Chain A
Amino acid sequence: MNANDTLIPHIGVVTDIRIDTPDVKTFRVNAIQADGTVSGKVFEHMPGQCAMLSIPGVGEGMFSITSSPTNKDFMEFSIKKCGCLTTWLHAMEVGQQITIRGPYGNNFPVETELKGKDLLFIAGGIGLAPLRSVINYVRDNRANYGDVQIVYGSRSKDDLVDYQEILDEWMKDDGITVNLTIDREQEGWDGHVGFVPNYVKELNPSLSKTVLICGPPIMIKFTLAGLKELGFTETQVYTTMELRMKCAVGKCGRCNIGDKYVCKDGPVFRFDQLDELPDEY
């Protein structure tokens, strides 16, 4: 019985905790090497793939890997505090060990369908987490992609995840346009105010762009409708899904949308693929 089983997790060590917003923290996770040193990654992944993180006795859950695979030093997870496990994770201190297994699911087609394309990223709130992996992958392989536009919105300026990275790195890159927006007027904010779907319509992006979108279901719904009004087709819009999961390999039977398992056949779907499936998500 020494065959590996994906249900038996590895150990990771939390080596840095960044407070992003009042309810989002970004955790840096390193591996424990054979000689006992804490460095490197527990496993490799592609942008959009996920990992099962757990605190034994508390629970296990699927989280998007927010760091890019081009980062060879560590993995990162941006996690919003909203349930039992995430509350526990938010209470962790640096040095805490967690269990980790993966990578699971498919990825954004960065090496195939997205290659050479102008990209439009649209994110709402914590929905930036899975897209950040793609954005940084694209930034690190800049020659392979065209123009990059990032539209990102949140409830308030205090709820923007990765805000410093956006200001210090993304906004300073050539060929990257960042459009930020917050839901309501706020003191100290002189940027755009308004919901993401309306902002995208106002920006009137070129129809040549391939779109990657992630955020609250309601935001995705209205943004997609807006994109269609502008003339975008479902075949050029990708999203990433999240449903309750236990096994992460299509066996425990709970994260299906029709005959597709989000953990195994997703989490990344193109909207024309979702069209052929029940709307149970």
Chain B
Amino acid sequence: MLKISLENLGRLFDAVSEKQTLYIPTDREDGAAEYRKYENGMKLSRNLNTLRSAKDFFFPQTENLADFKMEGKKIEVIDIREESEDFVVFGVRACDARSFTILDKVFLSEPVDSYYKNRRDHGTIVTMACSKPAETCFCGTFGIDPTAPEGDAACWSDGESVFFKANNEKGQAFIDSVAYLLEDGDTTKLDEVNAKTKEILGKLPLANLSTEAFGGDTLMEHFRSEKWAELSESCLGCGTCTFVCPTCQCYDIKDFNTGHGIKRFRCWDSCMYSDFTKMAHGNIRNSQLERFRQRFMHKLVYFPSNNNGEFGCVGCGRCLSKCPISMNIVKVMKALEVK
């Protein structure tokens, strides 16, 4: 397997970033990891995962959809779309990598969202296997193996070297572009690391979390469950869970008058917010219970129902560690599976 020593990884980053924009997870001053545009000398984070998911690169929090010029009774539509530049997102974890399979089902289904597709076409995702899964991790529940991540190319660290493998043509092109920095390496130690990781995964507190209760014809049963009242009682409707979620994709479209034209933006939205479904004549989800239920029903029942049973969650655990009232999808799953 092709590898590069850990101490030379910076040279690889330098080489990649000379040709295209490279984003890597790096530690902030407060210790949390976030993706940043790579600059010479920047250190790869040793954190398990980034605060915000990698969805930002393909579905940004705010983006300009179109511009308009208004003159008297006339309107001119200005198509501001441009071909994206090529870029690489390095160090995406297996959970976040799977989130793109889910987002693809939304944005690449007909009619294709050209804004998302443009970035997907030009972005290369290089994933990084996990070796220290956390207590909040439950990607295994959704059939994700963090020691064999998806993505265009994947990499593994055995503590001394980083090993690379392509998962598709785009990933192969990435490896070819840095092949002169790579050498053949022995994976004995890496195999040991992966085996150890799997052992840890089996012992994680959420290792036995099951999706069994959510298959088949359970829509109305779960919708009518009496558990929602207690589960949602303390929900603040802050939307943090949707903000950090790698698969949350609801959006709003809003216009902004710049003074010399109108800019139409697409912005992340949250089904947890009270005005999400508010219309001139009323609101179909007036209570936080209904909004809370919508979010989890979407991930656990509605999305699978429309996508051959695939769930809208990847078990990254961000919502577990970030919810201010410690409510999360795991508690919801556990409560709903008890009849």
Contact = CB atoms under 8 A, between A and B. Distances in A.
A280 B75 contact: no
B223 interface: yes
A56 B68 CA distance: 7
Given A7-B253, A99-B77, A254-B250, 20 more contacts: A7-B115, A8-B79, A57-B68, A57-B257, A83-B279, A83-B280, A86-B280, A99-B75, A246-B251, A246-B253, A251-B113, A252-B251, A252-B269, A253-B249, A253-B298, A256-B294, A256-B302, A259-B305, A277-B219, A278-B223
Contacts of A84: 280
A5 B113 contact: yes
Contacts of B70: 56-57
Nearest to B69: A56
8 A-B pairs with the lowest CB-CB distances in the bound complex, closest first:
A83-B280, A253-B250, A56-B68, A259-B302, A56-B262, A5-B114, A259-B305, A1-B81
Interface stretch (A89-97, A130-138, A167-175): A89-97
Contact of B255 (A57, A243, A258): A57
A7 B116 CA distance: 12
Measured as residues with beta carbon below 8 angstroms from the partner, the interface class of chain A is: 35 or more
Contact of A82 (B76, B106, B269, B280): B280
Interface in A26-67: 56-60
B66 A252 contact: no
B335 to A, nearest CB: 18
Interface string A243-281: 110110101111110110000000000000000111011
B83 A1 contact: yes
A46 B184 CA distance: 62
B118 A1 contact: yes
Contact of B75 (A56, A256, A276): A56
B223 A82 contact: no
A269 B116 CA distance: 31
Contacts of B269: 246, 252-254
Given A57-B70, A97-B73, A253 B83 contact: no
Interface string B275-288: 01111110011000
A192 to B, nearest CB: 26
Interface in B250-298: 250-253, 255-257, 262, 264, 266, 269, 271, 276-281, 284-285, 290, 294, 297-298
Nearest to B283: A244
A9 interface: yes
A203 interface: no
Contact of B73 (A10, A58, A96, A254): A96
A198 interface: no
Dominant secondary structure of chain A at its interface with chain B: loop
A253 B251 contact: yes
Interface in A94-114: 95-99
B81 A251 contact: no
A143 interface: no
A97 B81 CA distance: 23
Interface of B: 65-66, 68, 70, 73-77, 79, 81-83, 106-107, 111-115, 117-118, 219-220, 223, 249-253, 255-257, 262, 264, 266, 269, 271, 276-281, 284-285, 290, 294, 297-298, 301-303, 305-306
A244 B277 contact: yes
B42 to A, nearest CB: 31
Contact of B262 (A9, A57, A255): A57
A11 B77 contact: yes
Given A57-B70, A256-B302, A247 B251 contact: yes
A93 B112 CA distance: 35
B285 A280 contact: yes
Interface in A64-86: 82-84, 86
15 contacts: A6-B111, A56-B264, A57-B68, A57-B255, A57-B257, A59-B255, A93-B73, A243-B279, A243-B284, A246-B253, A258-B297, A259-B303, A259-B306, A276-B220, A277-B219
B66 A98 contact: no
Given A56-B262, A252-B250, A9 B77 contact: yes
Contacts of B253: 7, 60, 246-247, 252
A244 B278 contact: yes
Contact of A11 (B75, B255, B284): B75
A243 B281 CA distance: 10
A97 B75 contact: yes
A9 B290 CA distance: 33
Contacts of A6: 111
Contacts of B81: 1, 5
A62 to B, nearest CB: 10
